[in-house]
Copies of this chain bind each other. A is one copy, B any other.
């Protein structure tokens, strides 16, 4: 999931002809001031923190300025913020428009229908979750034949638009649909879409690109999700890795099994801290790297729960044994292993040779892992 910052989302919108306020990005107060003085940003203007979290307005992350000096001060104040845990590195300065009305527009995927869905609401400018269902219109859009004129007409009606703004909506919708399709987006959202005079302007932009389509979109390679540094390393190594607050490390293969393992650990009073999903691999080196990554997260104990399919038990055992020799004594942790499935016997034999016992029963091994974490923590 590649979440674009507002200004990056607006660059995408620009590419597809969606009307935007005039504006520019600044990374320092001085730069902000210069942008206004140079005329790149007309006055009065709005200065907005470029962070991924919502609720910027209430959080002091959006300010207004009527002079270049005010823009500088606003930018300085916002750039000093840490907004919902995210350091503000960029601000977007944009002309402040006299708007008549704020609308909501988005396209995302409806998994059940296996179709994109166009979501419209005349109640824009607030979080869409807070708008009553009766005030939200949803239309499925079939990729073949694509967004149609009758769907656009229905959207205009749901937004209460006629005349100039209805015509402008046609262009906005065409652009939004093309962006959703061509950029492999999970979500393209304009909230608010403002009625300004006879036209429409996208005041905000939320664009999320699908990770799996990265091979078609090298242009998004540099844009990172809100991952921790270890999560980032894991991503580079193509290991699914999630950090939580607990103290038990869980290494499993497959999302379902990983989640089930978590459920069982919780049941017995455990407190999982890191999930590491090996996925499907038959490379012992990848397993070794995963273990070393886990070691860096400093768990109190590690529960290894593998059901061998594509990832065979002997591959995991080999990788694990290799990793253990590389972890410094001070960083070692108690390990509870459970390996089942393809090449189970071979795997168990490899572990046994390294002095590790695999317990076949999930309940018992989970209990052992919880006990080990407690023992280590005591």
Contacts and interface: CB of A to CB of B under 8 A. Distances in A.
A143 B145 CA distance: 9
Interface in A132-157: 143-145
Contacts of A144: 143-145
Nearest to A144: B144
A348 to B, nearest CB: 44
Interface in A252-282: none
Interface residues on A, range: under 10
Interface in A290-307: none
Nearest to A142: B144
A188 to B, nearest CB: 22
A144 B143 CA distance: 9
A60 to B, nearest CB: 48
Interface in A50-83: none
A144 B145 CA distance: 8
Contacts of A145: 144
A363 to B, nearest CB: 48
Interface in A102-146: 143-145
Q: Give the oligomeric copy count.
A: 2
Nearest to A143: B144
A89 to B, nearest CB: 40
Contacts of A143: 144
A143 B143 CA distance: 12
A375 to B, nearest CB: 57
A145 B181 CA distance: 13
A184 to B, nearest CB: 15
Nearest to A145: B144
A49 to B, nearest CB: 41
A143 B146 CA distance: 12
A232 to B, nearest CB: 34
A215 to B, nearest CB: 15
A139 to B, nearest CB: 19
Nearest to A146: B144
A145 B145 CA distance: 10
A146 to B, nearest CB: 10
A147 B328 CA distance: 57
A143 to B, nearest CB: 8
A145 B146 CA distance: 12
A349 B145 CA distance: 51
A228 to B, nearest CB: 39
Interface in A229-264: none
A239 B143 CA distance: 38
Interface string A85-114: 000000000000000000000000000000
A143 B144 CA distance: 9
A235 B314 CA distance: 79
A358 to B, nearest CB: 45
A145 B143 CA distance: 9
A27 to B, nearest CB: 39
A181 to B, nearest CB: 12
A246 to B, nearest CB: 46
A240 B177 CA distance: 40
Interface in A141-177: 143-145
A144 B144 CA distance: 6
A136 B96 CA distance: 64
A335 to B, nearest CB: 47
3 contacts: A143-B144, A144-B144, A144-B145
Ranked 3 nearest A-B pairs via Cβ: A144-B144, A143-B144, A144-B145
